[in-house]
Each structure stands twice: as C-alpha cells, then as structure tokens.
Copies of this chain bind each other. A is one copy, B any other.
C-alpha cells in the first residue's frame, strides 16, 4: 500500500500482528448462510457471526490486542474504558484473561444484560449520563486518579487492528471455498470496526466494495465521507442501536475510512429490528439492534445487491430480552 494518511494509521501488517496475538484466544466465528434467505433475497448473502465471539461481540478482539501490549510496569494499575456495553465486556474479559484489574464507565441507559455481563467478567462498573456528562472527561479523571491505562473504544490503531481480524478471517474462509464478496458491509459507530475491516478487505480482496452501515440520526460516517470532513451527529438524536451512538467519527478511524470505504449506508431503527427477526428466523443467531444494521442495509437494498455476492458483519448479540421479544413481533418481508 502506498504511503498515505490511512497507511500511517493502520496497515494490513498491523492486523496480521493482531491475529497472531488473538490466535487460540478469540473465537474464529463462523460465516453463516441460509439458502432460503438467499432465494428470498435474490442474491447470495453470507454473515460473519460475531455474536458467537467470546463476549458476544467483536469488541473483545481489539481490547485484547490493545491490553496485551501494555508494558509490564503499567499492568498492576489496570485499565479503564468507557462504553455502552460491548467494548465494556471486551475490555473486562481481556483484562481478566490477562490478569489486569479493570474499571468501566457505562452510560446509565446501557442494556441491563451488558452491565450484568461486564460485572460478571470481574470489572468495576461506574455509571454516567450519556447525554449530560462527558465520558471522555470522566475517563481521563479515572485514569489520572488510578494511573490506569485508558483503552479507547475505537480511535486507537491497536483497537482497529484487532477488529480488522474478523474481516480477514471471513474473507479468507470464503476464499478457501472459491467465493469472493462483491460487497462487504459492516456496522459502524466510532468507525474502529469498519476501519480495521476495510483495511483487511482492501488487502485481501481489492475489488470488493466496502460500506459502513449506521442507524438514522447517527450517520456521521456516511455524511462525513460524502463531505470529505468529519461531521458530528445532532446531540438530540436517539436510536435503539445503543452500540453505535458515537458523537462523530474518530480522528484516526476517519483517516482510514475516508480513504478505504466505498461509501456509507444508513438504516432506520425499524429496519434494524426487522433484521434481528430475520436473523432469528433464518440464521438462528441472536443479534442486537446495532449489530444488525449491516444485515438490515443488505436486505433492504440500501446498496443494490441483486445478483451479487454480499458479505455482512453481524457484530454483536448482547440484546436485552425485552427489546429482542419486541423485534420478533415484526411482520417479516419474507
């Protein structure tokens, strides 16, 4: 890859290094497919199933990669992170497996399941109001008080590299069967997952179009890509996709994404919920709202998929039972 702002932040070699660190630790999640769903859609859709990852989402990959690099003399002070839940669990689990203490800042409205599972991994959980308090300031304060290492949710090359391992796995699994995606779509919050994934896909399958998928009201990456500069979301915006509510693209993630993405797609909360019900019926996979936006973008034709080979990431499955039951009430399009 030629030198560029993106290649100064993240290269495929970084992802290969992360894959070595994660080998035997992270789950090599399967690529799923439903012949009946393909027939209904009119294209071949394959799904990288990250709900089957160790903490129920891809976030474990980046967290473990980042925490494993903390120098020995910094380990006893532990790590601190802020997260609505999936990064929280990823950091808590990775810290636990690596023997470091962790403290996690979680928004008060985070799904109960996510808070409970984060605590179960042994983390200390501190809550905050996501609409009136700055999680960055709270995180910095905790970091100073304890000397703990901050594990950012996305704007860190080690995090992006860890997340990118999932696309490398998926593309290689498909290639081994002689199948190449024409289109790759991944959920996008702060942009760490799609930054890592786009780097892997560009390296391994350069002709594949790569799209981010975001919930309506939080389509900052789609709009920023179109404007070629970072744009923030309206602070008044709300979405059921709790995993994807970053205020704006990360500085480093956008440096990568502005160069490596084909474009950004956007789905409504209703479309994300319908995609959850589709995954229940055809894939038997539990997907949370934010984890389902790429699947939603594919099945609602936000980019023309007809006759194409389409690979989407379902990025997490830590849904509260109430929300999940609500999603299953939806009438399905097929």
**Chain A residues proximal to chain B, CB less than 8 Å:** 29-30, 32, 35-36, 39-40, 51-52, 54, 56, 93, 113, 117, 120-121, 277, 280-281, 283-287, 317-318, 321, 324-325, 328-329
Q: Is chain A's interface secondary structure helix, strand, loop, or mixed overall?
A: helix
22 intermolecular pairs with C-beta atoms under 8 Å apart: A29-B30, A30-B30, A30-B52, A32-B52, A35-B93, A36-B117, A36-B120, A36-B121, A39-B120, A51-B284, A52-B283, A52-B284, A56-B284, A113-B281, A280-B286, A284-B285, A284-B287, A284-B317, A284-B318, A286-B286, A325-B328, A325-B329
Chain B residues with Cβ below 8 Å from A36 are 117, 120-121
Number of copies: 2
Q: Is the beta-carbon distance between A280 and B324 smaller than 8 angstroms? A: yes
Query: Chain B residue with minimal CB distance to A317?
Result: B284
Chain B residues with Cβ below 8 Å from A329 are 321, 325
Chain B residues with Cβ below 8 Å from A35 are 54, 93
Query: Chain B residue with minimal CB distance to A288?
Result: B284
| CB of A35 to closest CB in B, whole Å | 7
With A30-B52, A36-B121 as known contacts, state yes or no: A284 contacts B286, CB within 8 Å.
yes
| CB of A301 to closest CB in B, whole Å | 21
Q: Is the beta-carbon distance between A328 and B317 smaller than 8 angstroms? A: no
Cα A51 to Cα B32 in complex, Å, equals: 11
Cα A277 to Cα B277 in complex, Å, equals: 16
Cα A36 to Cα B328 in complex, Å, equals: 26
Query: Chain B residue with minimal CB distance to A96?
Result: B35
Q: 7 smallest A-B Cβ distances: which pairs?
A: A284-B317, A51-B284, A325-B325, A321-B328, A284-B286, A36-B120, A30-B30
Chain B residues with Cβ below 8 Å from A321 are 277, 280-281, 328-329
Cα A198 to Cα B166 in complex, Å, equals: 35
- Which of A32, A36, A117 neighbours the largest number of chain B CB atoms within 10 Å of its CB? A36
Chain B residues with Cβ below 8 Å from A280 are 286, 321, 324
Chain B residues with Cβ below 8 Å from A286 are 280, 284-286
